[in-house]
Amino acid sequence: MSGTAGLPRRFCQALDLVDSPALIEEYQRHHQRIWPEIAEHLREHGILDMEIYRLGTRLFMIVEVSAAFDAARFDAAGLSNPHVQRWEALMWKYQVATPWTPQGEKWVAMERIFSLQQQ
């Protein structure tokens, strides 16, 4: 996470994909145009932008959130939203936790180890 009070914050997270070219292609197709209910859920909870990059089976996600973003509120809202629950269940067809992901979790926060701005 980066940023200061009142400014957007950034989260960088990682997740792996099932090692199957066909499933990876399907996963990428799902992300060419996510369900409108999912985009609405993200935006209404203060997510300003989200990008996912892939290298082989490793995914890297950058999430920019508003200063008012509340991760606990966002997580709770997702648990009670049937569209989010259906989307997440579908995504588990393609996703695999990294070797460093705690049991029961999905996307795991990455540790920033370098910033040019701080040099």
Q: What are the structural domain ranges in the chain?
A: 9-112
Give the domain 9-112 fold. Alpha-Beta Plaits (3.30.70)
The pLDDT, as a whole number, for residue 6 is: 65
pLDDT per residue of the chain (119 residues) written in tens, 0 to 9: 444 556 679 999 999 999 999 999 999 999 999 999 999 999 999 999 999 999 999 999 999 999 999 999 999 999 999 999 999 999 999 999 999 999 989 999 999 999 999 99
Number of Cβ within a 10 Å radius of residue 106: 15
87 with 79: CB under 8 angstroms?
A: no
Q: Which residues of 43-59 are buried (b: 16+ CB within 10 A; e: fewer)?
A: eebbbeeeeeeeeebeb
What are φ and ψ of residue 5, in 5° steps?
-50, 135
Residues in the chain: 119
* CA nearest to 74, candidates 41, 97, 50: 41
pTM: 0.88
